[in-house]
Amino acid sequence: MELLRFATAGSVDDGKSTLIGRLLHDSKSIFEDQLDSVSDASQRMGLEETNLALLTDGLRAEREQGITIDVAYRYFATPKRKFIIADTPGHTQYTRNMVTGASTADLAIVLIDARKGVLEQSRRHAFIASLLRIPHLVLAVNKMDLVDYSEERFEEIVAEFGDFASKLDIGDLTFIPISALKGDNVVSRSEAMPWYEGTSLLHHLETVHIASDRNLIDVRFPVQYVLRPHSDEFHDYRGYAGTMAGGVLKPGDEVVALPSGFSSTVERIETMDGALEEAYSPMAVTVLLSDEIDISRGDMLCRPQNQPTVSQDIEAMVCWLSDSSSLDPGAKYAIKHTTRSARAMLKELRYRLDVNTLHRDEQVERLALNEIGRVTLRTTQPLFFDEYRRNRATGSFILIDEATNNTVGAGMILGEPR
C-alpha cells in the first residue's frame, strides 16, 4: 500500500491539530481509550465538546497554552493509502520545527482561518513549503462555519493567496473549504457548501498522484554500511547496504563507485525478504557487485554516464536552527550529506531572505535562529550531490556544531558557486 507523508502548517489557532484530530476520528483511526482520555482532558479544561486537537498536542505545555510547540507525528491508514502526518507549529519562533517536520513531506496542508484571511504566517509557511520543494500544496480554508459557509469569502482568500503563490515555485496547488471542528469537507463532502464542486480533503489525500514525484532517472545509491558476515554460510559475502536516493537499479546494470571511479556490474539486489528484480527510491536494500571494489560508508554508486556533481564547494540555502549560536562567515562545522561526513567552512553569506516579503538582505553579517540565507561552503572532502530541486535526498545536508554535537543548520544545495 502506498505511503503519503504530509505536513500541516498555518498561523496560530488556525485549527491544524483539530483538523488532524478530525481526520483520525472520522476515519476511525483512534482507539476508544484514546478518545476517552481526550474526552476526560477536555472536561477537565471546562470544554463543552471533546477537543480533538488534544490527540496531537501531547506536551503538557501545549495543552496548557492551546498551541503546538513540537512537531507531532501521527500515523493512520485507510483502505486506499497509508499516511504519516507531521503537525508543525504555527508560531514564528518555531519555524525551524516546521522546516524539519516538512522536509520529507510529499504534500503540505496550509490552513487559513476564513475570518482572518491570508496572514504573514500563511505566506511564510507557503514559502517554506516551496523552498523545501514539497510537490503538492493544499490550501485548506478552515472555520467556514464561522463565516456562514460563504462562497464569496472563500473566493476572496483563493484570489489573495493565488496572487502570492504565483511568485513561488509551486507545482500543484489545491483549494478546499473546510470546517475541522464540524467535519465539513474533511472526510466527506459537506452539505452546507453545495457551491463547492471539489472533493473532500481525505479523498484528495487518498488520490493525489505522488509516484512521479520521485526521481527515477538518476541512479544514486549512497553506501551506508558494508556487510561482511565472515561466516561459513556467507564466506565471501560482500554487500553494500543503503537506501536508494534516486533512479532504478537492476541486476546486470553497470555502475561506478565514487570517489574511486572504479566500475562494476550489479550482481544481486537483496533485502531481508529475499532477492529483488529492481530497487528504487526510497527502498532500503543490499547491493552485491560482480567485482571486489574498495567501497566504504559514504561512497556512492551511480551510472557511468549519469553521475552527480563531485565538488568541495557548494552553494546552498540554509535555515539556521540554533538558538545558542549564529551562522557566521569563517565558522567551521561538521557536515552530514547522505551517508557522507566531512567538515565545512562557511566561505560567504550572500544574503538573508525575508520569508515574509521575499526581500534579499545583502548587508547581513550573520544568520540567527529561524533565519534563512544563501551561503557558499567549502568542505574537507568532496560531496556527491545534485541540485535540491532535482533530488531532495542528494541535494540536502545538515550542519553540526562539533563542540555540542547539536544540529544547527539545514541546507538545500543550489549547485556549485558561480
Domains in the chain, CATH or no CATH each: 3-212 (3.40.50.300), 221-302 (2.40.30.10), 309-415 (2.40.30.10)
Q: Show pLDDT as tens, one digit a residue, over the chain (418 residues).
A: 789 999 888 776 667 777 877 787 777 666 555 555 655 665 566 655 555 555 554 433 333 444 333 456 778 888 899 998 887 765 555 567 777 777 888 999 999 999 999 888 888 888 888 988 999 999 999 999 999 999 999 999 999 999 888 888 888 999 999 998 888 999 889 899 999 999 999 999 999 998 888 888 999 999 999 998 877 777 778 999 999 999 999 999 999 999 999 999 999 999 988 999 999 988 999 999 999 899 999 999 999 999 999 999 999 999 998 888 999 999 999 999 999 999 999 999 999 998 777 889 999 999 998 889 999 999 999 999 999 999 999 999 999 999 999 999 999 999 999 8
Helix (H) / strand (E) element for 351: namely strand 340-353
Cis peptide preceding 222, ω within 30 of 0:
no
| Tally of CB atoms within 10 A around 358 | 12
- Look up residue 390 and give its amino acid: R
Give the pLDDT of residue 70: 46
Give the pLDDT of residue 34: 58
Alpha carbons 385 and 22: distance in angstroms, whole number = 40
- Specify the pTM: 0.84
The CA-atom distances, in angstroms, between 122 and each of 178, 307, 327 are 16, 38, 26
Cell numbers for 306? 549519469
| Tally of CB atoms within 10 A around 51 | 21
Question: What secondary structure letter does DSSP report for 363?
Answer: T
The CA-atom distances, in angstroms, between 127 and each of 14, 167, 387, 389 are 18, 9, 18, 14
From 111, 116, 68, select the one nearest 88 (Cα to Cα): 68
Query: What spatial distance separates the first Cα and last Cα of the chain, rounded to whole Å?
Result: 43
Give the pLDDT of residue 377: 97
Contact, 217 vs 225, CB < 8 A? no
Cell numbers for 240? 553494500
Q: What is the dihedral of CA 344, 350, 352, 356, to 10 degrees?
A: -120
Alpha carbons 240 and 406: distance in angstroms, whole number = 29
Give the pLDDT of residue 93: 53
From 5, 42, 3, 2, select the one nearest 21 (Cα to Cα): 42
